[in-house]
Amino acid sequence: MSNVLRLSDFRGAAQPMEMPQPTGQGLVFLHRKIQSLPFYKTDSEAVHLWVHIIMKVNSAPGMVATEFGDHPVGRGQAITGRHTLAKETGITPDRVKYLLNKFTKMGMITTLANKKFTLLTVTKYDDYQQFFVPSECQQNANANPDRAQPVAEVVPTECQQSATNNINTNNLIPDGIKCATGDKKPSVQKHKFSCEEVWQCLKDELPEARGWRAMSDKRRNLIRKFWLEANRIARQLDDGQPLTIQGFREYLQYISRSCRWMLEDRPDNRTGRTWRRMKFDSFLSATLYLEVREGDRDDN
């Protein structure tokens, strides 16, 4: 019966409502604006992990015991890691790592790692743990600030697009790479880069692959075609966000980490031949990009 609230509990002019205590087992308040997250309808694992993080972090500052001794942890923070989160949620460690990187890019969390552990911080934790809409949102929602009104039922669009949806657009490339497009839109600020930079990414992230010794028009055209097609795929997988140089690097890093079969010479016992590691050209395939992003090309 301790969870049943009596009507009399809500009567009276100034009965304060108690905040949840940092016991790790109490109530957690979740604002409905979570439904405004760009991945809310498209990625259930991302929603699962985000809600879990909100429930996991501390609601008040305190000391957390670790195998290296007690460590101070603030409100909205937790000491954790991808393997711990994977065990707690049932999401694979690699997928957790990808989602944490995604949350970081979107400004939802920050992480501080050392040789001992990782301190995760929810950047706008109070937005998810308030009883009311944040004050700046209330001011935007009220047409007459001097007029006393209850909290609006519909949060204004600008308030829904909070820090959890605060995506850094400084490095977005709306029309592909510099050499890959002829479309010019002066009204849109573009971050351009060259085909040589894409080539440099391949050399940096996949040094074991069979590389190129020189750039040619054919290879520039290959990069052009790949980027346009992969950009469409990235927008579908990343909630409308285009492919960027950093996103391309992460694609190559995932291959280097999880698709080692592409980067090694291996004997084929069935044919008696040797499977040669893939060349740069092979990684500039929209089909391969999609299959790698969906996890269909991981090592068996």
pLDDT value at position 28? 67
Q: Is the pLDDT of residue 23 over 70?
A: no
Q: Is the pLDDT of residue 232 over 90?
A: yes
CA 43 to chain centre: 11
pLDDT value at position 35? 83
Name the nearest CA neighbour of 46 among 112, 122, 84, 101: 101
Q: Quote the crossing angle between the two packed helices 44-56 and 82-89, to the nearest 10°.
A: 110
pLDDT value at position 16? 43
Query: Domain spans of the chain?
Result: 15-128, 178-293
pLDDT value at position 172? 35
Q: Is the pLDDT of residue 173 over 70?
A: no
Name the nearest CA neighbour of 169 among 100, 111, 112, 107: 107
The residue among 148 and 114 whose pLDDT is bigger is: 114
Least-confidence region, from 68-77, 184-193, 224-233: 184-193
Residue 74: band (very low, low, confident or very high) from pLDDT cuts 50, 70, 90? confident
* Domain at 15-128, CATH class: mainly alpha
How confident is the model over 115-138, as pLDDT tens digits? Answer: 667 889 998 887 766 544 444 444
Q: Is the pLDDT of residue 108 over 70?
A: yes
Q: Is the pLDDT of residue 185 over 90?
A: no
The residue among 115 and 224 whose pLDDT is bigger is: 224
For residue 73, the cross-strand partners are 62
Least-confidence region, from 62-76, 141-155, 255-269: 141-155
Q: Is the pLDDT of residue 179 over 80?
A: no
Q: Report CA Rg, the chain.
A: 24
Q: Is the pLDDT of residue 211 over 80?
A: yes
Q: Is the pLDDT of residue 160 over 90?
A: no
Q: Is the pLDDT of residue 165 over 80?
A: no
pLDDT value at position 130? 56
Query: What value does the mean pLDDT take over residues 58-82?
Result: 83
* Ordered alpha helix ranges (H), the chain: 44-56, 82-89, 93-105, 125-129, 135-141, 157-160, 195-205, 217-237, 245-258, 280-283, 286-293
Looking at every residue in the chain, the average pLDDT score rounds to 74
Query: What value does the mean pLDDT take over residues 13-35?
Result: 55
Q: What is the Cα–Cα distance from 209 to 136, expressed in whole angstroms? A: 52
pLDDT value at position 231? 92
